[in-house]
């Protein structure tokens, strides 16, 4: 009888104990270790952190019905600096009836996860370009995929980028312009989108700038931004190892303030969004200068003393390569 009572008690204990441990959901990103952690907080389009499960299933049904064909292309120029004109791929009249000028530079801006064409990143960078240059600015709105789960959005990145590349080819063929005056700028997940767009164009785009290219699940990912996706590819790293990738994936890689923790920031969210704020400031003032480093560790430790190179800006003929470190201020224009 005593043996039966003990056995019954053990059954009760095991029944109350989960066979598999319940994963701990973190309150912030202080726990995060790239490649090991299951959860991470990632900024949405409004620069608000959302918890992401890096093991969530991909929604294959969404991917089968939503892709880069759903991209929208919003044109802004100095004649319409805040009111978008929609250019529709395949509709030549949408070019003819717009303010598109093939003789001026074309800057293409691509948002990240959970974003859309109206978020602050787009307007800040758009306004900076139009302030310093008579140019075309096209904001790509890919919200149909960007506003899905993070892993689903990741799997949609190649299609979104390839359609942008095809759109640019169509635009040049039917509206004029040339690859040597095109600059693609992508923030976070959008940085990998513009990499795919450049690749689709045969790497003919003059410049590509990745603003803190997304990090989670992108290390070693063949669809990530590459250093040969355009004639010149630059990456600005501000939240490396968390929401951004720390790897030197551009031709030139800038690590402001060590590439991880930005002055005036107390969170990963702030560090991540600082990339597009810094870039917009360099477009307007071209005042942030990096020093060449021998390796990323030297950049992290802010010990770079080599040759100088300007970070960001709008110069289409800009060329260079290497790892660069620099320090900035804590508030605009840094």
Enzyme catalytic residues: 188, 212, 287
Q: Please, which residues have CB within 8 angstroms of residue 324's CB and are 6 or more apart in sequence?
A: 252, 253, 254, 255, 290, 291, 292, 293, 299, 304, 309, 311
Which of 200, 213, 189 is CA-nearest to residue 163?
A: 200
Which of 162, 160, 167 is CA-nearest to residue 198?
A: 162
Q: Please state, in angstroms and rounded to a whole number, the distance separating the CA atoms of residues 155 and 63.
A: 8
**SS3 breakdown of the chain: % helix, strand, coil, rounded to 5?**
35, 20, 45
Tell me the residue length of the chain. Answer: 334
Nearest 5°: the CA angle 292, 196, 45 is: 85
| Tokens, residue 278 | 């810094």
Q: Please state, in angstroms and rounded to a whole number, the distance separating the CA atoms of residues 204 and 275.
A: 25
Classify residue 203 as exposed, middle or buried by CB count within 10 Å of its CB (0-12, 13-18, 19+).
middle
Residues 324, 309 contacting (CB under 8 angstroms): yes
Alpha helices in the chain, H assignment, sequence order = 2-16, 60-65, 92-96, 120-132, 143-146, 150-175, 189-200, 268-285, 296-300
**In what helix (H) or strand (E) does residue 52 lie, and over which residues does it extend?**
strand 49-53
| Tokens, residue 257 | 């303030």
């Amino acid at each position: 009888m005593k043996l039966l009572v003990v056995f019954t008690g053990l059954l009760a204990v095991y029944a109350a104990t989960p066979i598999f441990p319940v994963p701990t959901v973190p309150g912030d990103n202080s726990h995060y270790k790239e490649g090991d952690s299951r959860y991470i907080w990632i900024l949405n389009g409004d620069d608000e952190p959302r918890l992401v499960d890096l093991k969530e299933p991909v929604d294959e049904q969404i991917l089968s019905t939503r892709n880069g064909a759903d991209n929208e292309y919003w044109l802004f120029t100095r004649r319409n600096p805040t009111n978008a004109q929609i250019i529709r791929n395949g509709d030549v009249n949408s070019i003819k009836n717009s303010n598109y000028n093939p003789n001026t530079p074309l800057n293409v801006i691509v948002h990240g996860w959970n974003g859309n064409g109206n978020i602050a990143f787009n307007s800040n960078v758009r306004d900076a370009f139009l302030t310093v240059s008579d140019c075309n600015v096209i904001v790509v709105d890919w919200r149909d995929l960007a506003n899905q789960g993070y892993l689903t959005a990741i799997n949609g990145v190649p299609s979104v980028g390839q359609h942008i590349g095809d759109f640019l080819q169509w635009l040049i063929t039917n509206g004029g312009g040339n690859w040597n005056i095109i600059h693609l700028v992508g923030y976070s997940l959008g940085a990998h989108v513009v990499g795919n767009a450049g690749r689709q164009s045969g790497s003919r785009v003059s410049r590509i700038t990745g603003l803190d290219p997304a990090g989670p699940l992108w290390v070693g990912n063949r669809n990530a931004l590459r250093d040969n996706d355009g004639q010149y590819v630059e990456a600005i790293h501000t939240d490396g190892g968390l929401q951004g990738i720390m790897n030197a994936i551009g031709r030139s890689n800038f690590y402001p303030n060590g590439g991880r923790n930005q002055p005036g920031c107390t969170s990963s969210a702030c560090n991540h969004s600082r990339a597009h704020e810094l870039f917009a400031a360099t477009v307007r003032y071209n005042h942030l200068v990096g020093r060449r480093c021998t390796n990323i560790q030297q950049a992290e430790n802010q010990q770079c003393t080599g040759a100088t190179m300007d970070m960001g800006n709008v110069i289409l003929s800009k060329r260079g390569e290497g790892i660069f470190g620099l320090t900035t201020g804590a508030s605009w224009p840094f």
